[in-house]
Amino acid sequence: MFRDSLEDYAGYENVSCLLSSGHLMTAKWGDAIYLRGGHSLRFVRKGASMSFTKLTWGVKASFRSYVEAAGGSITVSDGAIRAEDGTFVFMAEPNSGLAIAADGSVSGAMRFKGTVSFEAHGGMLKTTLSQLGLEAAESGLVLTVLEGPMNKGRCAVAELGPVDVGTGGVTTINARITMDGMYQIADNYPPGTELDPVLLA
């Protein structure tokens, strides 16, 4: 169903809705959209570009606890910050954004500065997540990082969705680990394992 304040969009001929799946659908002003599941929608203008200034992600709470309980270390660098609740904050690179084309397809990417590294078991466990990215893939939105250990290409570590546009300007997106993510994050969690949600503001 439309979110409460559709009046905000009254000036637009068409509105596009970023669906839970990460895909976009378009409706004319006044159309009613009914979706099962009650997920919230984010309305954006076609041709617009969405951008956020920061991404907050905890990777996986149990992984953070495990590394620290094993006497290992979690370090942030290159501008990433560790928040009080143990999650990590990455600031957006300037001039990056996801663009929404006239046909409603999403393209482009956002990049976020910073690196978080996990190390434990005398270096046998070593995970580095650098330069996070938010990208529109064919399957919907994905979370990408530089592909370790060479850090040359990029890989998608998580599939994102549904999108929940909360109050207070924070968008929460659920994340599930991919096969590449499994290799990148301690080679332990099978694809599809729920990770911490990605928060965008």
| Chain positions contacting ligand HEM, by CB under 6 A | 60, 62-63, 66, 121, 124-125, 186-188
Q: Which residues make Cβ contacts (< 8 Å) with residue 59, sequence separation at least 6?
A: 88, 116, 118, 129, 185, 195, 196
- Which H or E run contains 90? strand 88-91
Shortest Å, Cβ 179 to ligand HEM: 16
Closer to ligand HEM by Cβ: residue 38 or 123: 123
Shortest Å, Cβ 89 to ligand HEM: 21
Backbone angles phi and psi of 14, in degrees to 5: -130, 150
Closer to ligand HEM by Cβ: residue 163 or 186: 186
Closer to ligand HEM by Cβ: residue 22 or 58: 58
Shortest Å, Cβ 186 to ligand HEM: 4
> Which strand ranges, in their side-by-side order, compose the sheet holding 133-137?
49-50, 97-100, 106-111, 133-137, 140-146, 154-165, 171-177, 194-200, 54-57, 88-91, 81-82
Beta bridge partners of 55: 90, 200
**Are the C-beta atoms of 73 and 120 separated by less than 8 Å?**
yes
Shortest Å, Cβ 81 to ligand HEM: 23
**CA geometry: angle at 121 spanning 176 and 90, to 5°?**
45
Closer to ligand HEM by Cβ: residue 52 or 63: 63
CA 32 from centroid of its chain's CA atoms: 28
Shortest Å, Cβ 124 to ligand HEM: 4
